[in-house]
């Protein structure tokens, strides 16, 4: 009847966000390009692009993943370089390694520190390691 109060109880399960997917992002001529795991990548994208995380496809909840440190290994002969921030530009040795690499060289990136940002709320999150072949 009109004016009756209905009470129901629902159980919600709050799950940890899934591990992010790593990518290198660049903007060229107004186009956004995300290079993801196992794709070939232009050397310039590695030199000047932004390492970032993306939520998995099909995951509806909206948030951003900001990367604050990562490791990069170019080929099999160079040392692994630790980069503070989200761009190889922040480590002179990483830049030198990328510039010296030949076409076909494998590049591995492992994210060390990432933050999931949802509005004003930030929390630590993880991003899977990823790799590329230099074009």
pLDDT digits (tens, 9 = 90+) for 13-56: 767 778 999 999 999 889 999 999 888 999 999 999 999 998 88
Structure tokens belonging to residue 111:
């994210």
Instruction: Tell me the CA distances in angstroms from 117 to 9, 19, 59, 103, one per residue in order.
Output: 30, 14, 15, 36
Query: Which neighbouring-strand residues pair with 52?
Result: 23
Distance CA 37, CA 48 (A): 18
Mean pLDDT of the region 62-76: 94
Averaged pLDDT score across all residues of the chain: 91
Query: Are residues 73 and 100 in contact, defined by beta-carbon separation less than 8 angstroms?
Result: no
Tokens standing for residue 118: 């949802």
């Amino acid at each position: 009847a009109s004016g009756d109060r209905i009470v129901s109880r629902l159980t919600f399960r709050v799950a940890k966000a899934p591990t992010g997917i790593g990518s290198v992002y660049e903007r060229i001529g107004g186009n956004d390009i995300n290079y993801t795991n196992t794709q070939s990548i232009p050397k310039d994208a590695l030199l000047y692009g932004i390492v970032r995380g993306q939520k998995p496809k099909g995951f509806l909840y909206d948030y951003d993943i900001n990367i604050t440190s990562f490791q990069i290994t170019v080929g099999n002969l160079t040392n692994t370089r630790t980069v503070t921030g989200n761009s190889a530009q922040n480590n002179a040795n990483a830049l030198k390694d990328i510039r010296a690499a030949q076409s076909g060289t494998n590049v591995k990136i492992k994210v060390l520190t990432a933050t999931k940002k949802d509005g004003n709320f930030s929390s630590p999150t993880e991003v899977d390691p990823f790799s590329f072949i230099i074009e």
